[in-house]
Amino acid sequence: MEAMVITEYGGADVLHWQDVSHDAVGPHDVVIRIYATSVNPVDWKVRKGYLKGRLPLEFPAILGWDAAGIVESVGSNVTGFRRGDPVFSRPATNRPGTYAELVVVDEKLVAPKPPRLTYLEAASIPLAGLTAWEGLVEIADLQPGQQVLIHGGAGGVGSYAVQLAKARGAVVAATGSAGNLEYLRALGADRAIDYQEAPFEEAVESVDVVFDTIGGETQSRSYAVLKRGGILVSIAQPPNQEEAQRLGVKGTWFFLEPDGEKLRRLGELFARGAMTPQVHHEFALNDLPAAHQLSETGHARGKIGIVVDQGHAYDR
């Protein structure tokens, strides 16, 4: 199969086409013919070698951890899927990724594609959407009426976190640049905060949950807006536990563990219109270096979609 691979760590120019074999198919595996994928910041961080300790690679390596397409074939023990099923998935990071025509995924990581979405739209959801789900639902246990502050609400994870929090009945505040304030409100934010205009601490107080996609000084300053007993959940860096304990709050960091059942439940929110896909940039797979460069700027709105099969990516 054809795939965009890297044979060394480096800049976006190390991505190139190569004919490779897909991963071996086990009895519980599903082979997905990929119609669309997407770019996430973890992709270029792995490409640059920043995550060697956590995600070591064997070259040639195929990156990418979002897939939407149809089932090409299944292993001998697979019972939940069959050839031709429309599916989407966040595959495991210890197997070849999704910048390719095919990907082999354990059936436990696969879910039916929401029928109202195109494959390109569906491909924008798994990694970013499940990250929002794990942070807000599994870890923070966000409840109706609680107040949540979401940093970086216009980004890939943030744009789904805002919608998910609103779908769960929370009161949502989100930070972003001045140019993204209307976008944040359209996503459902009750309060959109221009982080460049004034400190966010002046806009919110006594929140139950802070969802941090930024880290650094933003994370440290966020303790001040949490109510006692509140929780800061970060995907950017581990919080300072001494500081959290001193203020009577919790702080936690996590790295997403994919799960097909959770993805199915998330997909149901999209299927009934409680959440909407946020593909604001589109590239063909052969333009992947440019897509990585855009992601590296940190200023992409929503998700960066990648068309793998032009003839089917826009099908529902």
pLDDT in tens, the chain (316 residues): 999 999 999 999 999 999 999 999 999 999 999 999 999 999 999 999 999 999 999 999 999 999 999 999 999 999 999 999 999 999 999 999 999 999 999 999 999 999 999 999 999 999 999 999 999 999 999 999 999 999 999 999 999 999 999 999 999 999 999 999 999 999 999 999 999 998 999 999 999 999 999 999 999 999 999 999 999 999 999 999 999 999 999 999 999 999 999 999 999 999 999 999 999 999 999 999 999 999 999 999 999 999 999 999 999 9
Amino acid residing at 56: P
Q: Which residue has the tokens 């989407």?
A: 88
The contacts of residue 180 (CB under 8 Å, 6+ apart) are 153, 154, 192, 301
Q: What is the DSSP letter of 113?
A: P
Radius of gyration of the chain (CA): 19
Tokens of 249: 């709050």
d(CA 134, CA 257): 8
What pLDDT score was predicted for residue 2?
A: 96
Could you please state the CATH topology (level 3) that the domain comprising 128-253 is classified under. Answer: Rossmann fold (3.40.50)
What pLDDT score was predicted for residue 242?
A: 92
What pLDDT score was predicted for residue 140?
A: 98
Pick the CATH number of 2-123+277-307 from 3.30.497.10, 1.10.340.30, 3.90.180.10, 3.40.50.2000: 3.90.180.10
- Strand extents, DSSP E, 100-190: 102-106, 110-112, 147-150, 171-176
Give the CA dihedral 43, 47, 48, 52, nearest 10 degrees: 90
Q: What is the DSSP letter of 170?
A: -
Closest alpha carbon to 295 in 93, 6, 90, 38? 38
Closest alpha carbon to 165 in 138, 184, 144? 144
What pLDDT score was predicted for residue 37?
A: 98
Neighbours of 10 (CB within 10 A): 12
Q: Where are the domains of the chain?
A: 2-123+277-307, 128-253
Q: Is 290 helix (H, G, I), strand (E, B) or coil?
A: helix
What pLDDT score was predicted for residue 198?
A: 86
The contacts of residue 160 (CB under 8 Å, 6+ apart) are 125, 128, 129, 131, 132, 275, 278
